[in-house]
Amino acid sequence: MQKKLHIKKGDNVVVIAGDNKGKKGRVLEIITKSERALVEGVNMIKKHTKPNSKTPQGGIVEKEAPVHISNLMLVDAKTGKATRIGRKVNSEGKLVRFSKKSGEEIK
């Protein structure tokens, strides 16, 4: 069974550890098997590619590499700072994520 992750696709996150510490970006993709996430503009790598239909020229392409989810923290929409995540049942009986800093519901 897969563990429930605190970050979802489309969230704004900040990197809290590693070479890219302090960088902010939007989550493009979640890889649940390895508990990693692709974050826009974070952990950029250079990949050498052969010419193909997508890149007829070939050459060196810069792209994002996955970052472990433990190194990411959600950015609170209200304060603009990193926050921890909690889960609670709202008035409609749905389990929702909320910001521990401001107490606000996350989308």
Tell me what pLDDT residue 107 has.
79
Q: How far apart are CA 18 and CA 43, in angstroms?
A: 9
Domain 12-75 has CATH 2.30.30.30: yes
Residue type, 67: V
The share of the chain scoring above pLDDT 70, in percent, equals 99
Cβ–Cβ < 8 Å for 41, 67: no
pLDDT in tens, 88-97: 999 999 999 9
Output the pTM of the full model.
0.84
Tell me what pLDDT residue 72 has.
97
Nearest alpha carbon to residue 77 among 57, 56, 101: 101
Q: Mean pLDDT over all residues of the chain? A: 93
Query: What residue spans define the domains of the chain?
Result: 12-75
pLDDT in tens, 34-63: 999 999 999 999 999 999 998 899 999 999
